[in-house]
Structure 1
Amino acid sequence: MTTGWGYPDFDDHEGVHLFTDPASGLRAVIAIHSTKLGPAGGGCRFWHYADSNQAITDALRLSRGMSFKNAMAGLPMGGGKGVVLADANRTKTPEMLKAFGRAIDSLGGRYVTAEDVGMSDTDMVTISSETKFVTGLPVASGRAGGNPGPSTALGVYLGVKAAAKRGLGADSMKGVHVAIQGVGSVGGGLAELLAKDGAKLTLADVDADRAATLAKALGADVVPTEEILAIAADIVSPNALGAILTETSIATIQAKVIAGGANNQLETREDGWRLHARGITYAPDYVINAGGIINVCLEYMGQGDRAEVEARIHKIPDRLNEVWDESDRSGEPSSAVADMIAKRLIGRG
């Protein structure tokens, strides 16, 4: 990785664009990592950051992850990410969203947005009033597109089952203990699917009421968020924000498998080696969580229907097994193997 402009996560990005619109209060970052395979596709995150440098770092990391995710999913899109800096009250207005749409439009199609944390398909409709370079819009039943959350959850669910087979030798999820960090659109959907399979679930979320409500519905346990990674479970599934697998947290993990939908789970590349050294089966995040971008990419291209989306999502376990097989052969951690394959696909290997 090339460190540039004082940001360690700068990885020869093609462009990092900063936008302000005083009238609406918009402050936003759009990072374009690669357009080698097509326009830089990646959602927009609406989040309150301690300072603007954190927002830029997040955009850099997330856009690189999108390059790798889209490449590994076989999609004709590069990688980009938008970040809208929210105030402490998470104030979001139509005027702000329209200003962000104009910012996207000024890039001439090099970046295509969709919803991410803090954004909805309704927000995408507002943004689309100012630019055509947007996807994840509400669609008719059976069509590709719409809210990517359920598609991401399906892919993560399939990936968790593949990881359980790989790391635990489990042919069924019945009785397998899964600790889920974050029960929003993705983690909550995952929990519901695993509950149907008879898995034992422990949930945690920064919104304690949300976790408690879902746990009651599914017969799951609840623990505080600061405890979820270290509990005695078979699988830990991170589905909240990133950089939670650190030198400190990895040392406390009791699970044999880590498989979840959160982006950028590893704080550093070295943390992939730490997991590998401990014999923990790790599902690289941008491989397992590709379901959402598969859904909105097919929507943007006007190709396929819901059946085609799900057929592509069902290939996620195959890609994970390819990564794990190569990890076994090479002795490299699965995170490093996935990076190597993705870099080759975008012409940077």
Structure 2
Amino acid sequence: MTTSIEIKRVEKSNISSVDFDNLPFGSVYSDHMLTCDFVNGKWQSPKIEPFAPISLMPSAKIFHYGQSIFEGMKAYKDKDENIMLFRPEENWKRLNKSAKRLVIPEIPEDIFMDGLKALLELDSDWIPTNEGSSLYIRPFMFATGNGFHASPADAYKFVVCTAPSGAYFGGKVKVLIEENYARAANGGVGFAKAGGNYAAQFYPTQLAIEKGYNQVIWTDDNTHEYIEEAGAMNIFVRINDTLLTSPTSDRILDGVTRKSILQIAEDNGIKTEVRKISVTEVVEAAKNGNLKEMFGAGTAAVISPIAGFGYKEDDFDLPVLENPYASQLKKLITDIQTNKTEDPYGWRVMI
């Protein structure tokens, strides 16, 4: 470890109050958090302290101009109690890509990686070992500098919190292909994990929920003719035996799970294509029986199969397959993440 980290431990752990056999997603929090402040033009020494409220002035620019970005990661334990991360350097790179777009100072790799490892070692007992569970990790950065002037802040805070979590989705997921609203636009911040991207999704998603769907499939901002993402995840579509996903762009997040699925699929004999996918193509494939699967892919759910979709007042059910790509790929990727198989890619990082 190259970074000096001040550690203040909790007086009494809350872990005894947690039911690890019935974990919700992201609403039970571990004992400690990592914090680091950017003031006077530089990042200060990081600290690990008890999980607690953060105090800010009402004039802090995060409240007024939305300079806020985040990442999503997971930590796992294998049968020998080894702690593992999955491609953490990709999350660090993407956090800084988001930071640059929102004029937030980039976080140095040693603060990110050394701080994360120290936090996981301290709260290692919080990492679940139940099948399907993990320790969800939320690194985020936001503006703490004060002022009502519409300009970037002069101070920021980097925080990492963790939450032992069960499955993100339960049951079948039914989605609505969006015809009016857009998640992001060319030249915008759709490729960044900016908090405002997700806030803007809530209203169209709520409208879809009121119609009986669980999520929205986002389409392009200009014509709404091409599908792009599934809720807060990248989307994959299987037509016959080919697995399709949209290319990354200003509007589409470069998902770590997405790029991992593409690599694993190709290496296991599944044909993939990265190209624009038209709504018409998907609807026609559903009508003629060539649409076999649709699923979302992201850190939280890993892979979330879609049972059916709606478009222009019509509903389409996807077939129930005996051995779908979604199940095959989820097992292949989670076996790597949890050290149940060899990792030929060097993605698994032991703490």
TM-score normalised to the size of structure 1?
A: 0.29
Whichever structure has more strand as a proportion of its residues is 2
Where relative contact order (Cα < 8 A, 6+ residues apart) is larger, the structure is 2
Bigger Rg over Cα: 2
